[in-house]
Amino acid sequence: QSLVRLYHERVVDHYNNPRNVGSFDKNDPTVGTGLVGAPACGDVMKLQIKIDEESGKIVDACFKTFGCGSAIASSSVATEWVKGKQKEEVLSIKNTEIAKHLSLPPVKLHCSMLAEDAIKAAVKDYEAKRAKMSGNAEAGT
């Protein structure tokens, strides 16, 4: 119906069949957790990545989103895109790419922004955890 008319079918697909919904243990040292909120609408997104310490590769990802269909679809796409990539590599994923992939209308851009922010926050969380563990000697930034 109207949902189908307003949104690209990829949004509907990712909304109806979201990929990688779930949670990892946030205390697992190989897990990075990004929890972000959109001030505009109050929606919240949690995106988690699991990293192979040796290679720095993201081996798994999952999300939970309390938000609109576009936010759910954006986080679903984000988890698909980060898997198999290096943690540095995913920092360059832009919300505009996600929005374009899903053909989000301009008013829904902030929903994809949540996904970009959540990816960055997850990597940051992982690095902070590692820095703490290695006694901040080689913490970097």
**DSSP class of residue 29?**
T
Q: Which tokens hold the place of 132?
A: 């703490």
Site string for ligand FES, 91-130 (x = CB under 6 A): ----------x--------xx--x----------------
- Burial bucket for residue 78 (CB in 10 Å: 0-12, 13-18, 19+): buried
Site string for ligand FES, 11-50 (x = CB under 6 A): ---x-----------------------x-xx-x-------
- 131 touches ligand FES by CB under 6 A: no
- CA separation for the pair 37, 9 (Å, rounded): 25
**56 φ, ψ to 5°?**
75, 15
Per-residue CA distances from 137 to 88, 132, 134 (Å)? 20, 9, 7
Closer Cβ to ligand FES, 12 or 131, answer by number: 12
- 68 touches ligand FES by CB under 6 A: yes
Q: In the annotation, is 111 catalytic?
A: yes
- 71 touches ligand FES by CB under 6 A: yes
- CA separation for the pair 96, 94 (Å, rounded): 5
What is the binding site for ligand FES (CB under 6 A)?
10, 14, 38, 40-41, 43, 67-68, 70-71, 77, 80, 101, 110-111, 114
Q: Which residues belong to the active site?
A: 41, 111
